[in-house]
Amino acid sequence: MLLHVDRTCKPPNATWDEKDKRARCSLRRALLRSLRAMNALPRQPRDREPSSAISSATAPAMLVLGGSGVIGSAVCRHFARHGWNVIVHYHTNRAAADAVLRVIEEHGRRGEVFQADVGDPASVHAMFDLMQHAWPGLDACVWAVGRAVNRVTVRLTPSEWDGMMRANLTGLFLCLQRAGEIFSKQRGGAVTVVGSLTGELGRAGHAAYAACKAGAVGFVKSAAREFGNVNVRVNAVFPGWHPSPLAGAAFPGPDDLDDHVLGRTPSLDDVADVIYRLTTARDISGQIYNVDNRLW
């Protein structure tokens, strides 16, 4: 095979492209730094952190995907307690979403419930279109959707595999694409994805779920890189075990907690609070936090 060797002094185009890209990136980073120093970047959640004096008309707003679930509803309640307006997403459990909305309103904040099957692009786009119409500003988004089938690989059916991929991974992509678009336009926003330590450790009977959660970590890190230059932060937390429809019978009993150095599972309050602190941080992105006491 003959290789063409360019003997001119000019480096191959790719090198110039690379240098150009690097120069543009460092210019963009310098610009972001100076904008941030001037406090000129809008809609960074912490800049809009509510005080008791702020009314619900001007309070920051967040969307909780999977707000009808056990972890999602704890996140909704926690943010409402801290003065946020909260948009609650649900899939099938409208009653749970309505109950969460009532708590948000008891805290003197506003909210609304929206339905979507996150694995269905048409359903996701319809929900975001409706939501953007009613809530033109959004400051943060939490992903707390999840679906798990506890079955060893040899018994898992292709449709069970597909259902988990659609809800856990395709849904994450579709929703973060729309939320990322909103945040990019306003040059600020925060996304926190509820992942799972199972994606890192693996677990018998949870291969498809673990594959989704490992994929979510790669997605979060890549999205953090992509959105960093428009001041959008993307992080993930592993919430530890919680009794919920998703955990089902896999939830460990008191004799199965040897891997927990404190001998107990974490509280929902701790998980919601770490998500709150990550959302209202200013300079943290692309990070994965294990909100648990298992060593990893």
CB of 14 to ligand NAP, least distance (A): 40
- Of 257, 289, 250, 296, nearest to 270 by C-alpha is 289
User: Which pair of tokens denotes residue 194?
Assistant: 């509820």
- What is the C-alpha radius of gyration for the chain, rounded to an integer number of angstroms? 21
Phi, psi (degrees; rounded to nearest 5) at 194: -85, 110
- Of 193, 216, 201, 212, nearest to 259 by C-alpha is 201
Do 30 and 174 form a contact (C-beta atoms < 8 A)?
no
What is the rounded CA–CA span in Å between residue 189 and residue 45? Answer: 6
What is the rounded CA–CA span in Å between residue 276 and residue 191? Answer: 11
Nearer Cβ to ligand NAP, position 190 or 291? 291
Return the active site residues: 209
CB of 75 to ligand NAP, least distance (A): 9
Nearer Cβ to ligand NAP, position 27 or 99? 99
Nearer Cβ to ligand NAP, position 59 or 144? 144
Nearer Cβ to ligand NAP, position 36 or 242? 242
Amino acid at 254: P
Do 157 and 107 form a contact (C-beta atoms < 8 A)?
no
Binding site for ligand NAP (CB under 6 A): 66, 68-72, 90-93, 116-119, 144-147, 167, 171, 194, 196, 239, 241-242, 244-247
Residue 179 CB coordination number (10 Å): 26
DSSP state, 42? T
CB of 153 to ligand NAP, least distance (A): 19
Nearer Cβ to ligand NAP, position 49 or 117? 117
Phi, psi (degrees; rounded to nearest 5) at 234: -135, 120
Sign of CA dihedral 128, 270, 197, 153: negative
